[in-house]
Structure 1
Amino acid sequence: MEVRMKTLLVAVNSSYVHTNPAVRSLSAINSVPFAEFNINQDSHNILRSILSYRAEIVAFSCYIWNIEHVLRLAEDLKKARPGIIVIMGGPEASFHAKEILESRHGYVDYVVCGEAEESLRELLGEIGRGDVIQTPGVLYQENGKCTGDQSYRIVNNMNLLPGPFAAEDEYDENKLYYYESSRGCPFACAYCMSGSLGGTVREKSLDRVKHELMAFARKEAKLVKFTDRTFNANRTRAKEIIRFAVEETGDTCFHFEVALDLMDEEMVSLLRSAPAGKIQLEAGVQTTNPHTLEAVMRRMDLDKLKRNAEAIREQGNIHLHLDLIAGLPYEGLDSFRNSFNEIYGLYPDKLQLGFLKLLPGTTLRREAKKYGIVYRSYAPYEVIQTNDISAEELLLLKGVEGILNRYYNTGRARKALDYLTKNQLIEPFELYERFYTFCEQEGYASRPLSVKNQFIVLIEYAKKYLPESSLGEFFAVLRKDYDRTKTKGQVPEELSKFV
C-alpha cells in the first residue's frame, strides 16, 4: 500500500526576480507544493520557512549558482529534523551525484539524475510504498555505499509536460518567467552541458507551444525567456513561433537564444517587422578566433553573423545581446582583444563578457589538461588560467567586464562611448582597458558609485587621457547621456555649459 508522504519542492534562485520552471513542472505533475527563495536571503529565514511546511520529503533543485547554499540547507534541515528525507536534482546534482552522497555525511538521501519529471514521480511512489528503489536515474546510499542508477534520464515526449501556471502559481508582475519549447541542442560545443548529451533535441508541437504562449499573454506577462538552447536550429519552426508571438500575444516580450548565422533572409525580415520591444535576441558569439572555434567544436559563419546582426540593429526594434567568453583554448589576451573589438563594433544593446566555466559533463572539462586550463574546483568552476592566458590577464578582463557593465551595458554613457569608438579616437578594448586601469589606480574600480559619480569619474578619465581637441565634443555628447539619466542635483562643471 502506498503512503503519500508530505513533499515540498524547493528552488533557491540567483535573485528575487527569477522563477524556477523545474519546480513548477514537478509541482504540477506530482500535485505537491513548491517554495522559492534566493541566494541573497538569510539562510535562517529559508530554513524556518521550509520547516514550517512540516514536509516529510524535501526535494531541492540544484544549479551552479545555488549548490553551496543548498548543501548547507540540507545539512541544517537534517540536523533540525533527522527523519526528513532529502532529495536533490538538477544539472549540478546530476553530474555530481556520487560525490554529493558520499561527502555530505548522510544529509542527502537520493539524487535524481537528468530530467526529473518521470523519475521523481516514480521515486516518490517507491518511497511511499517502502519498495526497493529501482527508478532509473536515481542514486542513493545503502549501508554506506552508493547504489542505484546514475544514468542521465531524459523526457522524450515534451508534449506530456505541464504548461505555464499548471502548478496553480499566481502570476507575479515583478518576476521574470521562463519557457521551454524544446530541450537539448543539435550542436556539440565543448564548453556547453547541452552539447554533452549527444544532440538529443526534443520539441513540443507547434500547437502546444502556441497554446502555452497564450497563457503568458492572458496574464499580460512583461517578459518571457525561452530556455531553448539554440532556438532557431529548426528554422521553419522558429519562424512560425516568432510570427505567432508577434501577431497574437499582445504586449508580452519574448527573449530567444539564437544562432545569428543560421538566420535566412525571411527570418531577418520577420524580425525587422516586429513591433519595437516585442522581441529580444541573445547570441553567443564567444570568439572570432577560428582556431579557438575549431577547438571548442563550434561551427559559425562569422561574416553572416555580422551581416544579420547589423541588419537587426539597423532597424532598431529589437534588443540584441551578444556574448563573448574569455579563457577558451588558443585565445590569449591579444586574440581576445581582437574578438572584443570585432563584436563590440556591431554595437549590440548589451555585450556580455563572460568567463569560461568548466561545467561537469562537458568535453572541455574532460580535456582541461590538454589546454592547460586551471579552474576552480567549486561551482561555478570558472577558469583561473590556461596555456594561452595568465591569471593576471584574466583578472584584468574581470576589471574590463566591470567597466563595460557599468557604462556600456547600462546605457548610461552609450552615446559618449560611441562617439569615441565610432570616430576611431580609440579602439573599444583599449578604451575599457585604460579606463579600468585608471579606475583601479584612483580607487574607483572596486567600490559602488552613484550615477552622478560614475559620470564624474568618466570626466576625470577623459580629461587625463583624451586629446584636448576632442574634449569639447565629447563632453557635449556626454551631457546628453547625463540628461537621459535624469540625475538630480548640480550638473558636473565640465558638462554645465552644454545644454
Structure 2
Amino acid sequence: MLAFGSMAERSPKVLFVSLMAPEDREALPLGSACAAAGLVSAGLLRKEEILILSPSTDSPGGEILNSILKEKPRLVGFSLYSWNSIPALELARQLRALRSDLLIVAGGPDAEALAEQGAGEPFDAVFLGEAEFSFAEWYARRLGSDGLAGTIPGAAPAGGGSLIRSAPSLEGELPSPWLLGILSPVRGGALPWELGRGCPYRCSYCYEGRATGLVRHLSKARIEAELRLFLDAGVSEIFVLDPTFNVDGKRALDMLKLFSLQASRIGWNFEIRAELLNAAQAEAFTGLSCFVQIGLQSSSPDVLKLNGRSFDSRKFVSGLNLLNKKGVVFGLDLIYGLPGDGLAGFRKSVDFALSFSPNHLDVFPLAVLPGTSLRRRAAELGLVYDDEPPYLLKHHPGFSGEDMGAAAKLAAALSCFYSRGRAVPWFSALLGALGLSPSAFLASFLPPPGWETLGHIEIEALQCAHVEKVFKARGKAVLLPAALDLIRFNGAWSRALAEGAKTLLRLSYSLGDVEGPGILFLAAFAAQRPKSPCTVEILPGKDGPHARRIKGRGG
C-alpha cells in the first residue's frame, strides 16, 4: 500500500484515500494531492499533518480499514472514480459505523453519481468539480480558523447541504502539490503532470465536457519550477494530462521547445487533437522521445456531431500524415456504442484508424458517465446501461446487445493481435496480400481466455496460427513462408528492443532479403526471391537491436 506524506510526532489531521486499479497500483494520487495542496496553500495545515493512502482496489478491505483507523485522523477524504467508487463507498460506510466522530468527505469524477441521487450519504460533504479552494473553505469553517472562512474563492452549494459544486477558479494560481512537497518525484519513475485545465470541446460522453469550456494554462514560472524539480529528481517519464495539449498551438510549440531544450532525456506522453496539428508542431515532437495519443472515437462526422464532437476528416488525415512523415509515434482511441453508430459503422472506424498504422489502437465500450450531457439525454437517446460503475452501455436502438458483444470481440481481437502483438511493421503488408480489410481479417481471430496476461512470444504464436489459417483459406499458401518470416523477424526485433531478449530464429529466406523493404510486397517478393533457409540470432545492442546469421546450423 503506497503512502504519501511524512508523519510528524502525531497522527495526521487529514487522511486521503485514493484506491488504485490493480493495473495502475503504482500511479500517483494526483487528485487527492491537489486537495491536500489546497489546505497547505491556505495555511490551514502543514504538509506533515496530511497523509495520502493509495492501496489497490484488490487489497483486502479490512486491511485498508485498519490502516486508516490506526492513524486516528480527524478527517478522511475519498477520491471517487468509476473503477473505485464501489469499494470506496463501502469503506466510508464502515468508517462511519466505527467512528461517528470522524468527518468523511469525497470528491472526484464519480462523485457526480452521488449528486444525481441528491444526497451525499455517508459523507459529510461531497465536492463536485475542482476542490482545491472549495474544500479548503469548508475545512476552515468546520475545523480550521474561523478567521480564514470565506477568504478562499470558489464554492457555492448545489443543494442537499452536503453537495458543494465549484466552478473552475479564475482567481490566482492553483496550488502545486509538487512544489508544496505533497508529492515527490521518484528517480527513474513516471508521473502525471498538469500544464493547464479545461477543454473547449463539448463531447457528450466526457467529463471534460461538463464545465464552461474555459481553458486555463498554468504559469510558465510554475511549469519551469516543477520541471526543474522533476529533472533534479531524475524522473524518467511524464504523462501530460491536458485533455488537448495543442489546443493553443503557439503555447504547445513553446512548451515543446522548452522540453526539448531542458528535458529531452525524459519520455513524454501527450494527448492532442490531430485537426489542430501543423508542421511546426510535428517537427517539434521529433525533438523529444515521446508518444502522442489522439482521440478519434469514430470516423463518422454524423456520429461525432450527434455526440457533441466536431470532426474534419481532411485535417485529421493531414495531421496523421504529418506524424507519420516525421516518424512521431502515435496511438488512436475508438469508442463503440456511441449514439447514432452501429456495428457496421464501428467496423468502418476500425478500418479507417488502422489505415494510418498507429502504434496501437485503444478501443473502449461507451460508458454513460454521471454528470455528462450523454447521461442527461440517456432516456431520449434510448440508452440502456449498467446502473453501477463503470456504467457501460448495454444497448441502444442502433446498437443491439448482440452487436455490442460482436464489437467487444473485435476490440479484444484488435488489442491482442495488433496492439499487444506489435503488428504495426507488417500488418498492412499482410492485408494487402490477402485483399482484406482490418476488421474482416480480425473477425475470425479469437484470443484465448486470459490473453491479457500473455507475453509477446505467446501472442506471436497465436498470430502465426491465424495467419496460416487465413492465407490457406484464401488460396495464398504460397505466400506463407515470406509472411511468417516477416512476422517472426519483426517480433524478435521488437523483443530485443523492448525486453532486451535474444531470439534464435529459423527463416525461409536469406537474412538480407528478410531485412529488406521488398518483403513488404509479399506476392512480388515470393515470386522473385528464391528461398534460402538460414538460422539467425536477433540480439539487443547498445545502439539498438541487430541480427546475425548463425553458420553451421543448417544455414
Sort the TM-score into its range (normalised by shorter chain): 0.7 to 0.9
Report the more deviating stretch, 67-76 or 90-99: 90-99
Partner of 1:125: 140
C-alpha contact (below 8 Å) 1:139/1:149 kept by paired residues: yes
Q: Deviations over 1:297-342 (max 9, x none)?
A: 21222222112212212322x3312111111122111111111111
Partner of 2:519: none
Q: Distance in 2 between the 1:147 and 1:91 partners?
A: 19
Does structure 1 residue 136 correspond to structure 2 residue 155? Answer: yes
Q: Distance in 2 between the 1:231 and 1:182 partners?
A: 9
* One-letter code aligned to 1:256: F
Match of 1:480 among 463, 473, 489: 489
C-alpha contact (below 8 Å) 1:91/1:114 kept by paired residues: yes
Partner of 1:434: 444
- State the structure with bigger RCO (CA 8 A, min sep 6), 1 or 2: 1
- CA separation of 1:235 and 1:450: change in aligned 2, threshold 3 A: closer
Partner of 1:320: 330
Does structure 1 residue 347 correspond to structure 2 residue 365? Answer: no
C-alpha contact (below 8 Å) 1:111/1:138 kept by paired residues: no
Q: Distance in 2 between the 1:384 and 1:459 partners?
A: 34
Which secondary structure state, in structure 1, belongs to the residue aligned with residue 364 of structure 2? strand
Matches within 5 A, 1:50-449: 50-97=68-115, 99=117, 101=119, 104=121, 107-128=122-143, 136-137=155-156, 146-147=160-161, 150-157=164-171, 159-173=173-187, 175-272=189-286, 274-275=287-288, 277=289, 279-316=290-327, 318-423=328-433, 425-436=435-446, 439=447, 448-449=453-454
Q: Deviations over 1:158-185 (max 9, x none)?
A: 6242252523433234653111121111
Q: Distance in 1 between the 2:92 and 2:188 partners?
A: 29
Q: Deviations over 1:30-75 (max 9, x none)?
A: 2322222222322222222222211121011111111112111112
TM-score (norm 2): 0.79
Which secondary structure state, in structure 2, belongs to the residue aligned with residue 33 of structure 1? strand
Structure 1: stretches of 5+ with no match in the other structure: 141-145
C-alpha contact (below 8 Å) 2:507/2:535 kept by paired residues: no
Alpha-carbon deviation of 1:491?
6.8
* One-letter code aligned to 1:462: V
Does structure 1 residue 456 correspond to structure 2 residue 461? Answer: yes
Report the more deviating stretch, 425-434 or 404-413: 404-413
Q: Distance in 2 between the 1:84 and 1:223 partners?
A: 38
Q: Deviations over 1:89-142 (max 9, x none)?
A: 11211452363846x4xx3222122211111111112212698x99934579xx
Q: Identity over aligned residues, as a percent?
A: 24
* One-letter code aligned to 2:412: G
C-alpha contact (below 8 Å) 2:126/2:162 kept by paired residues: no
Alpha-carbon deviation of 1:477?
0.9
C-alpha contact (below 8 Å) 1:61/1:88 kept by paired residues: yes
Q: Distance in 1 between the 2:420 and 2:34 partners?
A: 34
Report the more deviating stretch, 477-486 or 370-379: 477-486
C-alpha contact (below 8 Å) 2:37/2:132 kept by paired residues: no
* One-letter code aligned to 1:479: R
Task: Count how many residue pairs are aligned between Structure 1 and Structure 2.
Answer: 478
C-alpha contact (below 8 Å) 1:24/1:166 kept by paired residues: no
Match of 1:470 among 479, 482, 506: 479
Partner of 1:13: 20
Q: Deviations over 1:192-239 (max 9, x none)?
A: 221121312222123332332232222221121122121211111111
Partner of 1:143: none
Alpha-carbon deviation of 1:469?
2.1
C-alpha contact (below 8 Å) 1:13/1:36 kept by paired residues: yes
* One-letter code aligned to 2:57: I
Alpha-carbon deviation of 1:444?
5.0
Q: Distance in 1 between the 2:144 and 2:177 partners?
A: 29
Q: Distance in 2 between the 1:5 and 1:46 partners?
A: 16
Q: Deviations over 1:415-473 (max 9, x none)?
A: 3434313545421111222213xx4xxx5576854544323322322232213122111
C-alpha contact (below 8 Å) 1:350/1:408 kept by paired residues: yes
Report the more deviating stretch, 157-166 or 381-390: 157-166
Alpha-carbon deviation of 1:362?
1.6
Q: Deviations over 1:272-311 (max 9, x none)?
A: 4x14x2x221110111112112111212222221122122
Alpha-carbon deviation of 1:366?
1.7
Larger radius of gyration: 2
Structure 2: stretches of 5+ with no match in the other structure: 1-10, 40-45, 510-532, 537-555
Q: Distance in 2 between the 1:188 and 1:157 partners?
A: 24
- CA separation of 1:153 and 1:53: change in aligned 2, threshold 3 A: farther
